[in-house]
Amino acid sequence: MDKLSVFISSVAQDSLTTLRMRTKQLLDNLGHEGIIFEESIMFTELDSVKTCLEYVKDSDMLILFIDTKAGSMISSEGKSVTHLEFLTAHEEGKKVLVYVNRQVVDEFFKLKNKLDEVNDLYFNNYRQFVNVVDTFETTYISDSYVLVLLYDLYQKGYYLNSFELGIDLDDQIKQHLSSIMKKSLRYLSIEKDIQRAMYHFSIYRDFYENSLRLVELIRNGKIVDARLLLSRLQNQMDRIVVEKKSKYQNEKITVLNPATAITLYSMESDEMVLVEYSGDVTAENIPLDNRDSYVVITATNPVYEEALFYN
């Protein structure tokens, strides 16, 4: 059975060490895999931060605990290690659960309006924003950078679940995991619909983009540059697998490789006249009485429809 891999993140603060260890034990007992800095990570590089971020990328979700301290700062990034772990999970689209000491949360929301004002002033200057926040006077929070981290979490839409030190968090974490599983099951029930919608979206997106390129070459119902038009069409004719669908299986009939050439004909009185071509082709005008020609067969078909010829 595939295990849910959960990276448990927090600063190396005594008040959080026991909490991280207990959460790992809870996850392991539930059949999942809790990953913590002290026990789970095998450092394969000299850069320990880079190794941690790789573990975050490989995990399925992140649980983040925040108390009064910011932890180690990476000067080149202007961010704490914990902040980088969160940002990595966020950018990778991981599920993130955030738990913050209740007193820290309370102090953050008391300063929220002031943080908004500073953010409005230095929206495009992150380091200046951090420097100004560093001047804030706090009662309970030891490191003002905790406010920067919490503000980023809040701005990105993450709910700040509160906890109190010394009170068991197991039930709350289990409830959140259960809620995630319930939501996942809803998506699983419509998985095929989602996949079908994504497939059609891809087709329509490509069709829209390609149509814009082709429309540029057609004005007032006339082709402006036939050679370029055919060249663009040829580039769109990728490898195609032709299948015959039955009730229980799809039988592959043949594979159409990317087009090596494409031709454009016009039907005149007694022949198909070559207008233009693209690619590796030796084409010429074709008499309409040549019933061996796929071009003639297609053009003279009384039912106007696409035709596919293969051996």
Over the chain (311 residues), the average pLDDT of each successive run of 10 is 85 84 91 82 70 90 94 90 94 93 95 95 90 94 95 94 85 88 78 79 74 74 81 75 68 74 88 88 87 88 77 64
pLDDT at 153: 95
State the burial class of residue 22 (Cβ atoms within 10 Å of its Cβ: 0-12, 13-18, 19+).
middle
Look-up of token digits 């959080």: 16
Structure tokens at 48: 């320990």
Q: How far apart are CA 145 and CA 177, in angstroms?
A: 29
Q: How far apart are CA 289 and CA 160, in angstroms?
A: 78
CA distances from 217 to 95, 228, 257 (A): 46, 8, 26
Q: How far apart are CA 67 and CA 40, in angstroms?
A: 22
Structure tokens at 122: 């230095």
pLDDT at 247: 62
Q: How far apart are CA 252 and CA 262, in angstroms?
A: 25
pLDDT at 286: 92
Q: 135-163 burial by CB neighbour count: b if 16+ within 10 A, else e?
A: eeebeebebbbbbbbbbbbbeeebebbeb
Task: Locate the DSSP E strands across the chain.
Answer: 5-9, 33-35, 61-66, 73-74, 79-80, 95-101, 160-163, 218-219, 222-223, 240-245, 250-256, 261-267, 271-279, 286-287
Q: How far apart are CA 130 and CA 132, in angstroms?
A: 6
Q: How far apart are CA 178 and CA 198, in angstroms?
A: 27
pLDDT at 4: 87
